[in-house]
Amino acid sequence: MSKEHFINLLRLHLHNMDPMERDELIAEYEAHFLFGQQSGKKEEQVASELGDPIDLAKQVMGDQYRPPYHIHEQSNNVDSSGNNSSSSGVIIRSLGVIFLSIFIFPFLLTGWTMWLTYAILVFTFLISPFVLVLELMFGGEFLTAEVFLASLLVGIGLLLVTSVRTVMRWYLVINQKYFNWMSSTIKGRK
Amino acid sequence: MKEIVQFKKGVLGLCVLVLINQRDRYGFELAQQISKHIEVAEGAIYPVLRRLVTDGHCTTYLQESTEGPPRKYYKLTAEGKTYLQELVGEWNIFVDSVGALISETEERNQDE
């Protein structure tokens, strides 16, 4: 284990410690690494002599120890699916997901753009009477046809306005499903 | 194995106090000294040192060194000295008692 990895793990598992005290304690371990390296030891050797950082964090915190959230979730995954999240597996699955995402993301984005266009269109329908009023205020000519058109647009707008939200929710669910699938695939859950 | 790990951890505080009583020392030095005698995760002495400080048995001070980072020295307080005497006393009683228990049962096993 490298010094950086050791310190990061320690910091992660001391997440609910008072920040000042935590920094002070971590400074001790960092100094220990420096003293160790000064006496001719390799980082990895110092780390293994220090022991498991998670165990150390548990000793520091006692019954105040709380595992960091995502570690918790990961261990649940391992429980439910067997131990198939080896590090090489994670890398290969991540690469797969990344390449797939390069293909999928533009489609997801296009969907959002279409939704936005639709929302703006409906909004424009709804505010068309105000546009008409504005036009008259700035000296536009009064046309009966325009009034009819505006009221028609408001009518259509009102009919469509609830669908804007429905479409958004429906599309959000699709996006969510994709992201969930991505994260569970990387973690190696079936 | 769990028992071994536990009693090694349990005696760390005593070892640290004994070493600091001899003279002020810094963390790395303490870890080196202790691991010479007892095989234990060296990192475990830092939580112990922290507790000794919060309990008022030790104080710390920083000292620059010509090479490497500044050293955080640990110094025994007056309360720490009393506490150490008490601990050493308790330790001797403890070791004798456990020793007596072991030898007593061994004798009985031989009798049977």
| Contact state of B28 with A49 under an 8 Å Cβ cutoff | no
* Model pLDDT, residue A85: 54
Measured between alpha carbons, how far is B28 from B35 in angstroms, rounded to an integer? 11
> Which of B9, B42, B68 is the closest to A38 by Cβ?
B68
Cα distances (Å, whole numbers) of residue A69 to A73, A74, A181, B87: 7, 9, 20, 39
| Contact state of B68 with A34 under an 8 Å Cβ cutoff | yes
pLDDT digits (tens, 9 = 90+) for B49-69: 999 999 999 999 999 988 778
Q: Where are the domains of chain B?
A: 2-111
Which one of 1.10.10.10, 2.40.340.10, 3.40.50.1110, 3.30.360.10 gives the CATH number of domain B2-111? 1.10.10.10
> Which of A28, A30, A51 is the closest to B44 by Cβ?
A51
Residue in chain B nearest A48 by alpha carbon: B41
> Which of A21, A29, A34 is the closest to B43 by Cβ?
A29
Angle at B10 between CA B105 and CA B12, to 5 degrees: 125
**Whether complex ipTM tops 0.85:** yes
Instruction: Choose, out of B6, B42, B51, the residue to mutate when testing the contact with A (most A CBs < 10 Å).
Output: B42
| Contact state of B43 with A50 under an 8 Å Cβ cutoff | yes
For B40, how many CA atoms within 13 A lie in the half-sphere containing its CB?
Answer: 28
DSSP assignment letter at A15: T
Report the gap between the CA of A37 and the closest CA in chain B (Å).
10
Q: Does B90 score more than 90 pLDDT?
A: yes
> Which of A32, A49, A56 is the closest to B27 by Cβ?
A32
* Model pLDDT, residue A70: 57
Instruction: Choose, out of B28, B30, B39, B65, the residue to mutate when testing the contact with A (most A CBs < 10 Å).
Output: B28
Tokens 């980082």 sit on residue = A43
Instruction: Choose, out of A11, A30, A60, the residue to mutate when testing the contact with B (most B CBs < 10 Å).
Output: A60
Ramachandran area for residue A40 (φ above 0: left; ψ -120 to 50: alpha; else beta)? left
* Residue B34 pLDDT class (50, 70, 90 cuts): very high
pLDDT in tens, chain A (190 residues): 899 999 999 999 999 999 999 999 999 999 999 999 998 999 999 999 999 999 999 989 988 898 887 554 454 444 444 445 567 778 888 888 888 888 888 888 999 999 999 999 999 998 888 888 888 888 777 788 888 888 888 899 888 888 888 888 888 888 888 888 888 887 776 4
Sort out which chain B residues have CB atoms less than 8 A from A38's CB and list them: 67-68
Report the gap between the CA of A47 and the closest CA in chain B (Å).
9
Q: Where are the domains of chain A?
A: 3-67, 87-187
A144-187 and A87-126 are packed helices; what angle lies between their axes, rounded to 10 degrees?
170
The amino acid at A95: L
- Write phi, then psi, for A2 (nearest 5 degrees): -80, 165
**Can you read off the two tokens belonging to residue A91?**
């890398």
Report the gap between the CA of A61 and the closest CA in chain B (Å).
9
* Model pLDDT, residue A68: 84
* Model pLDDT, residue B88: 96
Report the gap between the CA of B96 and the closest CA in chain A (Å).
28
B-side interface with A, Cβ within 8 Å?
9, 27-28, 31, 35, 41-44, 46-47, 49-50, 67-69, 71-72
